Amino acid sequence: GILGRRDVPAHMEAMAQHGISPIDLVVINLYPFEATLAKEGCTLAEAIENIDIGGPALVRSASKNYNDVAIVVNPADYDPVLKEMDAHNGGVTLETRQRLSRDAFAMTARYDSMIAGYLSGQMGEASQFPPGYQLGLQKIQDLRYGENPHQAAALYREAQPLKTDVVQAKQLQGKQLSFNNYIDMNAAWELALEFEASAAVVIKHTNPCGTASGKDQMEVFVKARETDPMSAFGGVLGFNRTVTAATAEEIVKNFVEVIIAPDYEPAALALFAKKKNVRVMQMPALEDHTKKSRMDIKRIGGGLLIQDADELTLDPNQLKVVTKIQPDETLLEELKFAWKVAKHVKSNAIVYARGQETVGIGAGQMSRVDSTRLALQKANKEVKGCVMASDAFFPFRDSIDAAAERGIRAIIQPGGSIRDEEVIQAADEHKIAMVFTGIRHFKH
């Protein structure tokens, strides 16, 4: 009755012979596999029990025969389909049946991809990069436009995003988020989560233009903003603590695009309400922000590059001091702060910091020495006595010499260059402490 084609006499004759009536409308809700996975403590047995078998077969059968059958799998389509049936004597137009068929096939594809993804996760590292890779994305909304006004764009949600993933953010006020807002907001949030103490992040075009961490949130934000106040104008702000009224008073002094934080004091929201265009985003409570998405995906022409997300944290016990000058504990804390920020700066990345605040950031230059000089140029404060972080090794001593001219005290970098000895010698000549991490953080 579902697959029988009305325009094929043999089909109609066989149906009549066996007493099978044609079915014009199929409405199905599959077992709640996705909702089951979302439950706290979901077991493998519970997940398997909620894998629908017959339902997808019915959906696919009805979808295949859209010429004669309307398939409805989304409750949001109930009212529109009923209204269309009322307007067409109980029928549904071919155009609508085609759309419903497309949506149904997309739904079963996503359903199967969720199952495959879940089972791959249960298999552990052996299936980290399986022969096939399913994303199982669901459209959330159309965006005004993409990276540029001539580009169309939309937001899609993964099947099982983590609670700390930006796609979970709730908009409390402001204009619709743009494609670029989402990218910058994600960058701000991920950097803010690097810190245990209260942190403030200012992002522009996905690069940090200021970051600070400490006890007083308002003071921390001011320090982050003052790293590069010109670039901070129109930026995206990230916080890892509830935004206070005192911080909000500082924020509203300048134009910002987006603010993202776990929560906001009522008085802070009242201040933001006076700036109606500012997009205020709230993230779910930070239960465990150490659990992050496992995979990082980048598109190339005709394919996808899939890798582990860069979630490796610095192990203080693995730090190796390679110079005659030994950094004390205070200096090591400054170096670790600068290193966390450098991880989130586009390569080649150089970060100057003092205490727990950035002083100058050099991002995205094709040579490391140019990033070194750019960070010095961008510094809004005196850099003498600052520490320096580099996301990758120094291929030559020129960056060390340039930093030494401005009084840099200590440097943290991965090491691993064939000219490490030359670079270490330069640091010793300038009486600069240098620490190797053994970890590279390229970001493209």
Candidates 175, 205, 275, 381; catalytic one = 205
Candidates 11, 18, 39, 64; catalytic one = 64
What is the three-state SS of the chain?
CCCCCCCCHHHHHHHHHCCCCCCCEEECCCCCHHHHHHCCCCCHHHHHHCCCCHHHHHHHHHHHCCCCCEEECCHHHHHHHHHHHHHCCCCCCHHHHHHHHHHHHHHHHHHHHHHHHHHHHHHHHHHCCCCCCCCCCEEEEECCCCCCCCCCCEEEECCCCCCCCHHHCEEEECCCCCHHHHHHHHHHHHHHCCCCCEEEEEEECCEEEEEEEECCHHHHHHHHHHCCHHHHCCEEEEECCCECHHHHHHHCCCCEEEEEECCECHHHHHHHHCCCCCEEEECCCCCCCCCCCCEEEEEECCEEEEEECCCCCCCHHHCEECCCCCCCHHHHHHHHHHHHHHCCCCCCCEEEEECCEEEEEECCCCCHHHHHHHHHHHCCCCCCCCEEEECCCCCCCHHHHHHHHCCCCEEEECCCCCCHHHHHHHHHHCCCEEEECCCCCCCC
- Asked if 205 is an active-site residue, the reply is yes
- Asked if 444 is an active-site residue, the reply is no
Give catalytic residues, as residue numbers. Answer: 64, 205
